[in-house]
Amino acid sequence: MPLSGDFYLTKVPILDDHQRIFGYFLSIKNREDEPVSVNELADLLVNVNLEKIAGSYPVFLKVNNEVIKHDILDYIPAEKTVLLLSTDDLTDEDVQLIKELKNVGFRFAFEYGGDLGRISEIFDYIFTDVNQIDSDIYQHRDKVILTGIFSTEEFKQLLNEGFRYFKGDFIFKPSTIVEKKIDPSKLAVMELFTKVRENFNPPQIEEIIKRNPDLSISLLKYVNSAAFSFRSKITSIRHAISILGQRNLLQWLLLFLYRAGSDSSYAETLLEVSAERGKTLEILAQKLNLSDEEVEKSFLVGILSLVDKLIGISPEELIKELNLDEEIVKAIVEKEGILGKLLNIVEKTEEGKIADIADVISSLGLNLNDVMSAQLQAFAWFEEVNIV
């Protein structure tokens, strides 16, 4: 079934105290602060495979209290979903029903309203803004998911206070960038990227990759992943290089760049978001019938749009290191050109502010259905690709 014209969702990672992805907060349309109705939830379940967009992670969905009384719950994977409810208008009947649903595997989160009394026996998680932390929240901090964080410094302070879960949209803010020297392992990957892009010489590339066991293992896992579905398994580096070709090899190198030195803060989250951005841009570029070169650049724009936060250098410096052209820099930094407009669309959709760029979408001859379909395909693609 095709997506309805005004259907789209945002997917924000929830991080744990190890700065890794714990789950995802999904919101439908431009209404993050409003709960999902039964009809909207039905639209979501028809169009979205939660396994495809979240993998093994739980999904947090803010829903109306009416949802827990509806047979639509029969179509929700209890093991995958945490239903986020408001304590407003929560009746004794609702509380009893929630207890029964918990017995069959459902989990529930609540928005903090200043009192845990009525929900003390039924909540699995509590969502609250950092400005609402009080003695009750502090006492249950191992079950609290904090929102409203604006900087890495604030995040680290809350970590030190014993909080475990955090809505992770703060890591994309500019304040999280700290200038630092490029890690040697990342620099080696960047140099290999440049070699592959400027002179695709498979035997030479094979020798470089074989000298690095991590690269070799990652390449074989990548090419043998479900994303490619080759008839026979790839067992050698040379075979992998030849069957992938230059374009896919470049994509793999950029994805690996995010994983090189995985002790970096938020590396896993940045990898996923940037990879999904790149794939979404690539699909939209193909939808616009752009040239093969522009389609290749679109993926680069998406994945490079967050690499500065991982490596700690500006996009301009990074592009210089990778010897890429000015069009990519302008697309990332200034949102100029078609690729810049596509990146702007994807970023605003992630933020739940798609209304801000409705005119941009229309000017490119696209619609919300195109954008959402591309994102869902990108989510599914990432779950099929092994990048380690």
What topology does CATH give the domain 9-176? TIM Barrel (3.20.20)
37's tokens:
């109705």
* 22 or 248, which is more confident: 22
| Coil vs helix vs strand at 340 | helix
- The answer to whether 259 touches 279, Cβ cutoff 8 Å, is no
Determine how many CB atoms are found less than 10 A away from the CB of residue 4. Answer: 13
Residue 185: band (very low, low, confident or very high) from pLDDT cuts 50, 70, 90? low
What is the structure's pLDDT at 3? 44
Say what the pTM is. 0.78
If we measure between CA atoms, which residue out of 360, 328, 331 comes closest to residue 345?
360
Give the side-chain half-sphere CA count within 13 A for 115: 5
E strands present in the chain: 9-15, 21-28, 59-62, 81-85, 107-111, 125-129, 144-147, 165-167
The CATH-assigned architecture of domain 184-384 is Orthogonal Bundle (1.10)
| Element spanning 319, H or E | helix 315-322
Using an 8 Å Cβ cutoff, are 98 and 73 in contact?
no
The ranges assigned to domains in the chain are: 9-176, 184-384
Name the average pLDDT for the chain: 83
Q: Does residue 5 have a pLDDT over 50?
A: no
pLDDT of 349 > 50? The answer is: yes
* pLDDT of the residue at 54: 77
- Interval 81-120: pLDDT, tens: 999 998 888 889 999 999 999 999 999 999 998 888 889 9
